[in-house]
Amino acid sequence: MSWRRFLSTLLLAFGAFVLACYAFILAMDPYMNVPFSPALPRAPVSQNQRYAYPALARSADFDSAIVGTSMVRLLKPERLNALLDARFVNLAMNSATAYEQLQMNALFLRHHPAPRVMIYALDDSWCRAVDTPDRYTFRDFPEFMLDENRWNDLLYLFNDKALENAVRMLELLQGRREPKYGADGYFDFTRDFGAYDLSRTRQRIYGTSTPPAAPPPLDLEPAASEVPRMANLDLLPALLAAVPAGTHVAVLIPPMHVWHLQSATAGYRECKRRALDIVGRRPDAVVLDYLLDSDLTRRDEHFWDALHYSDDIARRLETELAAGFVGRLAPADDRVQRLPR
C-alpha cells in the first residue's frame, strides 16, 4: 500500500470515527436538547447542574419552580407538591450567581407563562459586596442552552464532555447507572457527607470538634449600614418583574449558622433592607426571613456546615412556606413573615 493510500484510508477512518461519535452524542442527547433525538426515557446525567437543568426548566411536567443556590437544594419538590397542590422543579444550583439564577428563571418562565408558585432564595449570592453583578463561577455556564433556538445547541455538542455524558446516558438507559439528579431536579447532596456526625459537623462549622464560646447576640434585623455596593441586588427587580400577576411568589431568606454570620452582620442587615425594599414593590409576595439570631441558627444539630441546614429544617421551611401563602404562619422567635399576601 502506498503512503498516499495509507494516509487517505487513515483520514477516512478517522473521519468516520468522528462522525460516529457525533452521531452517538446526538442520538443519546445527554442534555435533552437535541430537537430530533429519538424518544427515550432520559433523565439528568450531567454532573454540572447548569447543563442538566435547562431541559427541566423547559419541561411541561412542572408548573412551579425553586430558584436559588445550594441553600435551597434540600427543598423537596415532592413534599412541596403535596403542600401547595403544585408540580415543582428544583432549579437551585450550587454557588449559582444572581445572574445565573436570573437566566434560569427567565428560561422557566418563557416555557411556563402562568406558573402556579415561584420560590426564590435570597442568600449570599445576592448579598456579596461587589461593584458589578457576578456573572459566572468556575463552573461552565452554557448560555447557548438557555435561548429558544435549540438547533444552535448542536454546534456546542461535539466535545469530550458531551461524549462522556452520552456514555452516561447510554448506561442509564441500560440500567447500569442512576440519574445524577431526580427528574424534578432534586438531589440530597448531604449524602456526600456520609452519616450525620455532630463532631464532624462542628469541625466544618468551627474548624474544631470542640465548639468555642458562643458569640454574643446578633442584630440581624433589616437596617441601613455603611457597607460597599451590592451590585447583584440590581438584578432582583428583573427577577421578580418577570413573574406574571396571579403567581404565588415567595422570597425565602434561608438560615445560616450564627458562627458564619457574626463577622458580617452589618452587611446582612443592609442586604435585607435593600432586598425587602425591592420585594415590597410586589405586594403579593411573601417573605420568610430565617436569617436571624435564634435557636434555629445557634444549634449545631440543625446544620451540616455553617451554610447548609438539615433535612428536618428543610421540611420545616417547606411547611411554613405553604402556611405563609395562606396567611396561617404564626409569629415565632426565629422567623419573620413580611409582606403577607
Q: Is residue 69 part of a domain?
A: yes
Q: pTM of the full predicted structure? A: 0.92
Q: Is residue 15 part of a domain?
A: no
CA distance 75 to 238: 24
> Does residue 117 sit in helix, strand or coil?
strand
* pLDDT in 10s for each residue of the chain, 341 residues: 687 787 787 788 888 898 999 999 999 999 999 999 999 999 999 999 999 999 999 999 999 999 999 999 999 999 999 999 999 999 999 999 999 999 999 999 999 999 999 999 999 999 999 999 999 999 999 999 999 988 989 989 999 999 999 999 999 999 999 999 999 999 999 988 889 999 999 999 999 999 999 999 999 988 888 777 899 999 999 999 999 999 999 999 999 999 999 989 999 999 999 999 999 998 888 999 999 999 999 999 999 999 999 999 999 999 999 988 776 555 454 555 555 44
Q: Is residue 313 part of a domain?
A: yes
Q: Is residue 251 part of a domain?
A: yes
Q: Is residue 31 part of a domain?
A: no
Range of the domain at 100: 46-150+179-338
Q: Is residue 271 part of a domain?
A: yes
Other beta carbons less than 10 A from residue 196's beta carbon: 12
Q: 334: buried, middle or exposed (CB in 10 Å: 19+, 13-18, 0-12)?
A: middle
According to DSSP, residue 293 is labeled: S
Half-sphere exposure of 3 (CA within 13 A, CB side): 0
Q: Is residue 90 part of a domain?
A: yes
Q: Is residue 20 part of a domain?
A: no
Contacts of 224 by beta carbon, 8 Å cutoff, 6+ apart: 269, 270, 273
Total count of domains within the chain: 1
Q: What is the CATH number of the domain that holds 331?
A: 3.40.50.1110
pLDDT at res. 333: 45
* CA angle at 26 for the pair 21 and 32, rounded to the nearest 5°: 135
Which of 147, 185, 179 minimizes the C-alpha distance to 64? 185
